[in-house]
Amino acid sequence: MKKKPEEKRLSKTVSPDLSVNLAGIKMKNPVMVASGTFGYGTEYAPFVDLDKLGAIITKTITLKPKEGNPPPRTMETPSGLLNSIGLENVGLDHFIKEKLPALRKMTKTPVIVSIGGRCIEEYRQMARALDQEKGVSGMEMNISCPNIEKIPARMIAQDQGQVYRFVKSVRKMTRLPLIVKLSPNVTDITKIARSAVKGGADALSLINTLTGMAVDVEKRKPVFFRCIAGLSGPALRPLGVRMVWECSRSVEVPVIGIGGIVEAKDALEYILSGATAVAVGTGLFVNPLTPVEIVDGMEAYLQKHRIKRIAELTTGGLRWKVT
C-alpha cells in the first residue's frame, strides 16, 4: 500500500533538527535572547544553561560608557512593560577587555554584540574594533532605541535615507554578519527593511519597543524622565508577528522575530510567519528559563507533527496572501 505523505515525515522516536543558519551564524536552535534583557550574558549563567541557547545578543554597547536615564526606569502595564533604561552600559573598551572574555569562558554559544551610537562614526569605530575580536559571531546595529533622545528627535530607524547611509557605512567596517534592528514606530516597516538590506544588512531583527507613555495622576506629570518610554511584552506580539510577516515577504535576508514571546506557541507564530529565528526579551524577567522551555516546546511540536526540520516552517507564511 502506498504511504500517505504525512507518513513519510519524521518518526516520533527521532529527534527533529532545530538548527538554523542565520546569515552565516550557525545556531543549534532558533531561540536567542534579545538585547537589553540578558545583560552581558554572564548575569544569567547561574540560572540558565547558556549552551542550550541558539545565540546570545548582548545588551547594547556604546563607544563610551553611558549612565542611562534617571529612575524610575520601568513600569508594568497590562500585558506589558514600559522601560526607559537609556542604554546604560560599560562602553566598548571595558566590554572587550572584561565582559566578552568572561562570557566566552562560560559558553560556546554564538555571541552577537549589539552596538548603538549617535552618529555614523561611532558605529563605524565599534564595528571596526569588534571585527578584530575573537568570539564575536555577528553584530546587531541598534538604530531603534526610543529612550536616548529628547522628544521630538527621530530615531535613525524612522528615516529610510539615514538607515541606508548608516548601514552602508558600517558594512564597510566588518566582515561579520550584520543584523539591523528595526522600529515598529514607522508608517511602513517594509520600506525601512528594504533600505537596510540595500545598505548591506545580512539580517533584520524586529521589532524593538513601541513608544508609549505613562502619567502619574497624583503628581500630574509623566512617570519617566524623558516622558516617552518603550513598551514591550505580550501586548506587542500581534504587531510583531504582522511586521515579521510583511518584512519576510519584502526582503531576501533572514528575519529575527522579537516581541511578546513567552512560550513555544508564541515563537512558532513568528517562525510560521517567516522568521528564521526568534529572540526572547521581557519574558526573561518573569522566568529566566523561558528560552530553554521554548526550545523544548519547539522540539515537542515538531515531534507531534512529524516535521524533520524547524527551518521547514519558516517558508510557510510567505505563501499567505491577503484576500
Residue 152: predicted pLDDT: 44
**190 exposed, middle or buried (CB, 10 Å; 0-12, 13-18, 19+)?**
middle
Tens digit of each residue's pLDDT (9 = 90 or more) over 66-91: 999 999 999 999 999 999 999 999 99
Beta-carbon contacts of residue 97 (< 8 Å; ≥ 6 apart): none
Superfamily for the 5-64+88-208+232-319 domain: Aldolase class I (3.20.20.70)
Cell output for 266:
508564541
Q: pLDDT averaged over the chain?
A: 93
Residue 241: predicted pLDDT: 98
Extended strands (E) in the chain: 20-22, 25-27, 31-33, 55-57, 74-77, 80-83, 111-115, 138-142, 178-181, 203-206, 210-213, 215-216, 221-222, 228-232, 255-258, 277-280
Residue whose entry in the numeric block shows the C-alpha cell 524622565: 225
Number of helices (H), then strands (E), belonging to the chain: the values are: 10, 16
Tens digit of each residue's pLDDT (9 = 90 or more) over 133-189: 999 999 999 999 876 555 445 789 999 999 999 999 999 999 999 999 999 999 999
In this structure, what DSSP letter does residue 154 have?
P
Residue 153: predicted pLDDT: 56
Three-point CA angle 125, 130, 136, nearest 5°:
160
Beta-carbon contacts of residue 15 (< 8 Å; ≥ 6 apart): 299, 303
Q: For 147, how many CA atoms within 13 A lie in the half-sphere containing its CB?
A: 29
- Reference 157, options 132, 189, 131, 128; nearest CA is 189
Neighbour tally for 239: CB within 10 Å: 17
CA–CA distance, 244 with 91 (Å, rounded to integer): 31
CA–CA distance, 320 with 323 (Å, rounded to integer): 9
Find the catalytic residue in 119, 145, 227, 247: 145
Q: Is 145 a catalytic residue?
A: yes
Residue 6: predicted pLDDT: 46
How far is the first Cα of the chain from the last one, in angstroms, to the nearest whole number?
A: 39
CA–CA distance, 59 with 42 (Å, rounded to integer): 11
| Whole-prediction pTM | 0.93
- Reference 110, options 285, 256, 240, 290; nearest CA is 256
Answer yes or no: are the C-beta atoms of 160 and 153 closer than 8 Å.
no
Cell output for 160:
529610510
| Low-confidence stretches of the chain (pLDDT beneath 50) | 1-8, 151-152
Residue 35: predicted pLDDT: 96
CA–CA distance, 258 with 281 (Å, rounded to integer): 8
Q: Are strands 25-27 and 31-33 parallel, antiparallel or unpaired?
A: unpaired
Task: Calculate the alpha carbon distances from 211 to 90, 145, 165, 214 in Å.
Answer: 25, 9, 24, 11
